[in-house]
Amino acid sequence: MSRKRSQLTPHVRSKIIQGIQSGGYPHVAAEAMSVPKDVFDDWLKRGDEPDAREPYRSFARDVRIAFAQARLIAEIAVYKDDPKVWLMQGPGRETPESAGWSVSVKASEKSSGERNALLDPELMQLFRLLMQALAPYPEARSQVAQTLLNIGVNENAA
Domain presence at residue 46: yes
Backbone φ, ψ for residue 114 (5° rounding): -95, 145
List the domain range (segments joined by +) for residue 73: 10-88
Domain presence at residue 137: yes
Q: Are residues 66 and 28 in the same domain?
A: yes
Q: Are residues 68 and 122 in the same domain?
A: no
Higher pLDDT, 34 or 97: 34
Domain presence at residue 35: yes
Q: Are residues 31 and 76 in the same domain?
A: yes
Confidence band (pLDDT; 50, 70, 90) for 61?
very high
Q: Are residues 119 and 77 in the same domain?
A: no
Domain presence at residue 19: yes
Higher pLDDT, 19 or 120: 19
Count: domains in the chain: 2
Domain presence at residue 73: yes
pLDDT digits (tens, 9 = 90+) for 44-57: 999 999 999 999 99
Cα-based distances in Å from 39 to 8, 35, 128, 143: 10, 6, 40, 37
Angle subtended by helix axes 10-21 and 56-81, to nearest 10 = 20
Q: Are residues 58 and 21 in the same domain?
A: yes
Task: Pick the last residue of a domain from 51, 71, 88.
Answer: 88
**Does residue 13 surpass a pLDDT of 70?**
yes
Cα-based distances in Å from 135 to 81, 93, 110, 146: 34, 19, 33, 14
Higher pLDDT, 21 or 94: 21
- Cβ-contact 25, 59 below 8 angstroms: no
- Count Cβ atoms within 10 A of the Cβ of residue 57 and give its class: 0-12 exposed, 13-18 middle, 19 or more buried: middle
pLDDT digits (tens, 9 = 90+) for 92-126: 677 777 666 555 555 555 555 566 666 677 777 77
Q: Are residues 17 and 84 in the same domain?
A: yes
Q: Are residues 70 and 137 in the same domain?
A: no
Contacts of 60 (CB under 8 A, 6+ apart): 43, 44, 46, 47, 48, 52
Mean pLDDT of the chain: 81
